[in-house]
């Protein structure tokens, strides 16, 4: 039996020992997440004021001890209550969360992975521990990429030479970068500490034959894997499209084959050292789990004086590979988010360059976001930029802007939006905060209330401003200063009635040319494009969303795994996560998107902060969007936040 203790340090306040108030503590981690999560609940009713008296709020820190040994240190990121529950749920993340959420645009020329890691971790003001040396100099250019993705991309590239596997290991408040697969001293045995074990084998994604075709679909050759054909006599084939047969080699063919998938799970009495990335010896004769296995994900639970751990296991030592960024600078590397993507100027004549002259603070260089939503919500984007200047100050560095991405002083009434104690909206990204401003001004003030510039500025003028007419005149002068034209209320725009109407202002072009006609009537340019789209359409209503799931089993994967597998079926190699997929292939504008193109966009729900969908024609997409267990769906095209449209099939 373990003696546990959970201490909460209230932000700018006292320490509280809440051990007696909680029924359990659960800590989990996985290969695909740099941060570890602590979850618990407080025995408090929805009406009890004790939680408010304790002051347990987001941002407070927690420390968890087992037998007086500190095992976990992190911060509360979520406090949730339910009217039909007597508990308050608390979710915490360790400092790895900072690495996952802090994004940068950086160029690294002839730098090793360890040099880049040291620079970025120090920049984040985190404690730096051990950093594994590779001595491999690399050049990589990153845009809007998290520190975690940058570091793991550099180590992924280095691993191709060193043949080692790497991971980030957070020990309390210290960040270490170590070699993955260290052996644990503890072992699991069916006669001592195994509660239950599972070991499954599946050939759902078996590929035992590869057909090579040219760009017109004409067969060049066929290849059969003799060992895999023994597993399943019938042909399960993949299509590999090439420009000419001289390109075909054995390595390309072998990459298409796919054998048996194994999934293994174990529940037992281990210890907290049994964490993702470690190697453990297991002996369970009943399931056949005998030998050394690598831990892909782990959950540890302390409840009622008892302890147990649950582990997802892998025969192979596989790091969380990332391929973000690019090895070359492209003039249009951010084409997926530029001024013309998906929207068009309805007559305001404001450009991104004009907007970037006024935007400061966190909004510096974000003129493309104002431009996009100005076109979607049919309201002048420069007016919104001026309102942000009024609300946040000339430097646009108010507390609300810097801490909550609220640039317009919005008291957001929507129930799905987090709020400050005074009711101001808290937005997870800059894009979300900007869209909120366009949402309320474009719908409520411009469309519903028909307000002109003077009426709008009167609403936002500082309360201490006695000369409102003079203030309005100054705003009009600023408009002329930044746009070069005099203000006219005809430039305000009409606004829109709803978010749905705003989304309709994203233009989309389906394929209307091509020599190959698919089963859905869409014309395709080549066989690769056809395979991607038709394989996606076959999966609608099937599969189950599994975050961080298989990159080979299309029935148990997530959004990026779904896109990865679709391209693999077409003989195209792209990354297995959104951080690499947003850089694969080539950028196209949303207005020129064709079936088979995919869109990497922002997400409020994914731990990565991104989601990816596939365009399938006629303004529709297919995606594996969750939540957990939900099948693959087809719906109308949409985007959220910053987005990247990529084409890999031509």
Query: Per-residue DSSP letters for 416-434?
Result: TSEE-TTS-EE-SSHHHHH
Positive/negative CA dihedral, 514, 517, 519, 522: positive
pLDDT at 598 over 50: yes
What is the spatial distance between Cα 264 and Cα 313, in angstroms, rounded to a whole number? Answer: 5
Give the mean pLDDT of 352-358: 87
**Of 501, 504, 533, the residue nearest 516 (C-alpha):** 533
What is the spatial distance between Cα 575 and Cα 145, in angstroms, rounded to a whole number? Answer: 15
Query: CA angle 249-251-253, nearest 5°?
Result: 75
Give the mean pLDDT of 364-376: 87
Cβ within 8 Å of residue 648, ≥6 positions away: 567, 572, 574, 584, 585, 586, 598
CB neighbours of residue 413 within 10 Å = 10
CB 612 within 8 A of CB 603: no
Query: Of 17-21, 99-103, 258-262, 489-493, which range is least confident?
Result: 258-262
What is the spatial distance between Cα 356 and Cα 363, in angstroms, rounded to a whole number? Answer: 8
What is the spatial distance between Cα 237 and Cα 584, in angstroms, rounded to a whole number? Answer: 25
Can you say whether residue 132 is alpha, beta or left, with left for phi > 0 and alpha for psi between -120 and 50 degrees? beta
Torsion angles phi and psi, residue 172, rounded to 5: 60, -100
Give the mean pLDDT of 166-186: 93
pLDDT (tens digit per residue) in 305-324: 899 999 999 888 888 888 78
What is the spatial distance between Cα 253 and Cα 477, in angstroms, rounded to a whole number? Answer: 65
What is the spatial distance between Cα 241 and Cα 516, in angstroms, rounded to a whole number? Answer: 14
The predicted structure's pLDDT at residue 506: 64
pLDDT at 525 over 70: yes
pLDDT at 517 over 80: no
Is the pTM for the entire model greater than 0.75?
no
pLDDT at 331 over 50: no
Give the mean pLDDT of 194-211: 83
Instruction: Kindly state the DSSP code that residue 403 receives in the 8-state scheme.
Output: H
Give the mean pLDDT of 404-412: 91
**Of 206, 205, 240, 204, the residue nearest 222 (C-alpha):** 240
Instruction: Kindly state the DSSP code that residue 47 receives in the 8-state scheme.
Output: T
551 falls in which pLDDT band (50, 70, 90)? confident
The predicted structure's pLDDT at residue 222: 85
The predicted structure's pLDDT at residue 12: 73
Give the mean pLDDT of 156-179: 93
**Of 179, 168, 149, the residue nearest 322 (C-alpha):** 149
The predicted structure's pLDDT at residue 546: 85
Q: Name the burial class of residue 157, with classes exposed (0-12), middle (13-18) and buried (19+) by CB atoms within 10 angstroms of its CB.
A: buried
CB 177 within 8 A of CB 164: no
Whole-number Cα distances in Å, 79 to 33, 413, 425: 21, 19, 16
Helical spans, DSSP H, in 108-200: 113-123, 147-162
pLDDT (tens digit per residue) in 12-64: 778 888 898 889 999 999 988 899 999 998 875 534 455 555 667 778 899 99
List residues bridging with 92 in a β-sheet: 38, 76
pLDDT-above-70 percentage for the chain: 89
Place of tokens 């084998």: 201
What is the spatial distance between Cα 253 and Cα 489, in angstroms, rounded to a whole number? Answer: 63
Query: CA angle 630-631-635, nearest 5°?
Result: 105
- Average pLDDT over the chain, rounded to an integer: 84
Give the mean pLDDT of 181-204: 88
The predicted structure's pLDDT at residue 275: 94
Instruction: Kindly state the DSSP code that residue 19 receives in the 8-state scheme.
Output: G
Place of tokens 């008291």: 411
């Amino acid at each position: 039996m373990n003696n546990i203790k959970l201490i909460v340090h209230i932000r700018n306040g006292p320490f509280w020992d809440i051990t007696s108030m909680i029924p359990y503590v659960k800590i989990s981690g996985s290969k695909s997440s740099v941060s570890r999560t602590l979850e618990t609940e407080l025995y408090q009713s929805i009406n009890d004021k004790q939680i408010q008296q304790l002051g347990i709020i987001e941002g407070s820190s927690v420390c968890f001890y087992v037998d007086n040994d500190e095992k976990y240190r992190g911060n509360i990121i979520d406090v949730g209550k339910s009217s039909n529950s007597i508990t308050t749920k608390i979710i915490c993340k360790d400092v790895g969360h900072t690495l996952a959420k802090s994004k940068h645009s950086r160029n690294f020329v002839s730098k090793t992975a360890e040099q880049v890691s040291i620079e970025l971790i120090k920049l984040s003001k985190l404690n730096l521990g051990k950093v594994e040396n590779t001595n491999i100099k690399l050049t990589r250019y990153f845009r809007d990429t998290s520190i975690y993705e940058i570091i793991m991309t550099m180590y992924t590239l280095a691993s191709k030479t060193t043949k080692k596997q790497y991971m980030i290991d957070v020990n309390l408040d210290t960040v270490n970068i170590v070699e993955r697969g260290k052996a644990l001293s503890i072992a699991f045995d069916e006669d001592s500490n195994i509660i239950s074990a599972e070991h499954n084998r599946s050939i759902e994604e078996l590929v035992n034959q590869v057909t090579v075709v040219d760009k017109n679909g004409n067969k060049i050759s066929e290849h059969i894997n003799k060992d895999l054909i023994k597993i399943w006599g019938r042909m399960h084939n993949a299509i590999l499209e090439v420009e000419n047969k001289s390109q075909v080699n054995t390595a390309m063919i072998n990459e298409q084959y796919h054998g048996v998938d194994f999934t293994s799970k174990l529940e037992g009495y281990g210890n907290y050292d049994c964490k993702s990335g470690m190697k453990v010896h297991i002996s369970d004769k009943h399931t056949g789990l005998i030998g050394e296995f690598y831990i892909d994900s782990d959950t540890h639970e302390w409840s009622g004086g008892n302890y147990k751990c649950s582990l997802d296991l892998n025969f192979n030592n596989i790091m969380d590979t990332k391929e973000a960024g690019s090895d070359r600078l492209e003039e249009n590397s951010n084409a997926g988010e530029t001024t013309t993507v998906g929207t068009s100027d309805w007559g305001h004549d404001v450009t991104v360059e004009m907007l970037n002259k006024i935007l400061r603070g966190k909004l510096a260089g974000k003129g493309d976001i104002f431009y996009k939503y100005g076109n979607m919500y049919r309201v002048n984007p420069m007016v919104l930029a001026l309102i942000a200047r009024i609300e946040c100050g000339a430097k646009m560095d108010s507390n609300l802007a810097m801490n909550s991405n609220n640039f317009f002083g919005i008291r957001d009434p929507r129930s799905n939006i987090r709020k400050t104690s005074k009711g101001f909206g808290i937005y997870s990204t800059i894009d979300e905060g900007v869209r909120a401003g366009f949402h309320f001004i474009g719908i409520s003030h411009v469309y519903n209330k028909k307000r002109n510039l003077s009426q709008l500025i009167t609403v936002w003028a500082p309360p201490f401003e006695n000369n409102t007419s003079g203030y309005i005149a100054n705003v009009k002068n600023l408009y002329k200063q930044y746009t070069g034209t005099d203000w006219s209320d005809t430039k305000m725009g009409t606004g829109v009635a709803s978010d749905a109407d705003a989304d309709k202002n994203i233009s989309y072009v389906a394929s209307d040319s091509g020599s190959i006609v698919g089963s859905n009537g869409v014309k395709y340019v080549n066989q690769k494009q056809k395979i991607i789209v038709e394989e996606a359409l076959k999966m609608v209503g099937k599969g189950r969303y599994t975050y961080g799931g298989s990159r080979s089993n299309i029935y148990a994967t997530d959004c990026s795994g779904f896109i990865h597998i679709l391209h693999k079926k077409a003989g195209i190699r792209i990354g297995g996560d959104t951080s690499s997929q947003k850089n694969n292939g080539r950028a196209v504008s949303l207005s020129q998107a064709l079936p088979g193109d995919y869109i990497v966009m922002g997400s409020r729900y994914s731990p990565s902060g991104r989601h990816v969908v596939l365009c399938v024609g006629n303004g529709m997409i297919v995606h594996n969007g969750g939540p957990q267990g939900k099948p693959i769906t087809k719906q109308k095209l949409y985007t959220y936040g910053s987005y990247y449209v990529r084409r890999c099939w031509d």
